[in-house]
Amino acid sequence: MAVREIRVGNVIFGGADVVLIAGPCSVENEEMVMLTAETVVKNGAGMLRGGSWKPRTSPYSFQGLGVEALKILRKASNEYSIPVVTEVMSLRQIEIASEYVDMLQVGARNMHNFNLLSEIGRSGMPVLLKRGFMATVEEWLLAAEYILKEGNESVVLCERGIRTFETWTRATLDISAVPLARNSLGLPVIVDPSHAAGRRDLILPLSLAALGAGADGIMVEVHPDPDKALSDGGQSLSLEEFVLFAETIGAAPQSPCRLTEKNRR
């Protein structure tokens, strides 16, 4: 099945080029977002990410800056001509975030929130739908269909690892999900090695594996000072590390899985 092209601003998912999404786990302040945006844009990222409302396991952990974060993302987007994506967790947040960002993210913890999915479908906004860490591929694709059913075809899927018995990584990246999901619904599939591994040393190998399997993009967490990050520092690349990472990813050969498909069109 040919993968559908999904346009978000000046970026195309499922097109000839692999899309690199980069940015901090959480928007912490304007300075760190601007600094990160400048570096990632200069080095090949097509989209900027940043959490505005954070789905934290503990209610006492940093919860995100909310609307202030959205304003910072918009400013970075305008300044560097790059589309931005942020996660929404409630119906109200869909409405607010849609005024500021180019794409809405449904996180792993909300993949089963069917009301949220339908409402995002009705919003018509491009969506990045992450796979729940306890969801089968079929459940993930059915979640995507909740959005499609409302007439919103701008859905990009994101494999971010599933919960297994393994403890050396935060989750286990399910590589088979990439071709399975791509070939089933014909939607572009990207991979998030940061949340899958939970550790920055695995970001490059997991990304190369994902690209080999035909992923249409990679989403990676980047922070100017990962050791001081308010969330997910251990799985974030520093700016310097991102430069090297992006260079290696950019030089990676086109996956035969994607080439074959393009030729078939």
Contacts of 220 (CB under 8 A, 6+ apart): 20, 21, 22, 192, 193, 194, 203, 207, 237, 242, 245
Q: How far is the CB of 17 from Mn ion (least distance, A)?
A: 25
Q: How far is the CB of 8 from ligand PEP (least distance, A)?
A: 16
Q: Which of 108, 120, 191, 229 binds ligand PEP (CB under 6 A)?
A: 108
Q: Is 232 near Mn ion (CB under 5 A)?
A: yes
> Which positions from 110 through 139 interact with ligand PEP, judged by CB under 6 A?
130
Q: Which of 160, 182, 223, 258 binds ligand PEP (CB under 6 A)?
A: 160
Q: How far is the CB of 221 from Mn ion (least distance, A)?
A: 6
**Closer of 130 and 223 to ligand PEP (Cβ):** 130
Q: Which of 3, 6, 11, 25 binds ligand PEP (CB under 6 A)?
A: 25
Tell me the C-alpha distance between 222 and 193, whole Å.
12
Q: How far is the CB of 232 from Mn ion (least distance, A)?
A: 4
Would you state the structure tokens that stand for residue 108, as one six-digit string?
A: 């792993």
Q: Is 25 near Mn ion (CB under 5 A)?
A: yes
**Binding pattern for the stretch 186-225 against Mn ion, x by CB under 5 A and - elsewhere:** ----------------------------------------
Tell me the C-alpha distance between 202 and 200, whole Å.
5
Q: Is 178 near ligand PEP (CB under 6 A)?
A: no
**Closer of 55 and 186 to ligand PEP (Cβ):** 55
- The DSSP H or E segment spanning 40 is helix 30-42
Helices (H), 43-191: 67-80, 91-98, 114-123, 137-148, 177-185
Say if CB 71 and CB 101 are below 8 A apart: no
For 98-129, give the DSSP string. Answer: HTT-SEEEE-GGGTT-HHHHHHHHHHT--EEE
Stretch that binds ligand PEP, among 107-115, 117-125, 179-187, 204-212 (CB under 6 A): 107-115
Nearest to residue 22, comparing CAs of 216, 192, 213? 192
Q: Is 107 near ligand PEP (CB under 6 A)?
A: yes
DSSP assignment letter at 225: S
State the binding partner of 124 from ligand PEP, Mn ion, none, CB within 5 to 8 A by kind: none
Q: How far is the CB of 206 from ligand PEP (least distance, A)?
A: 14
Tell me the C-alpha distance between 52 and 72, whole Å.
10
Q: Is 55 near ligand PEP (CB under 6 A)?
A: yes
State the binding partner of 108 from Mn ion, ligand PEP, none, CB within 5 to 8 A by kind: ligand PEP
**What is the Rg, in whole angstroms, of the alpha carbon atoms belonging to the chain?**
17
Q: How far is the CB of 264 from ligand PEP (least distance, A)?
A: 31
Region of 250 on the Ramachandran plot (φ > 0 left; ψ -120 to 50 alpha; else beta): alpha
Residues that bind ligand PEP (CB under 6 A): 25, 51, 55, 87, 107-109, 130, 160, 195
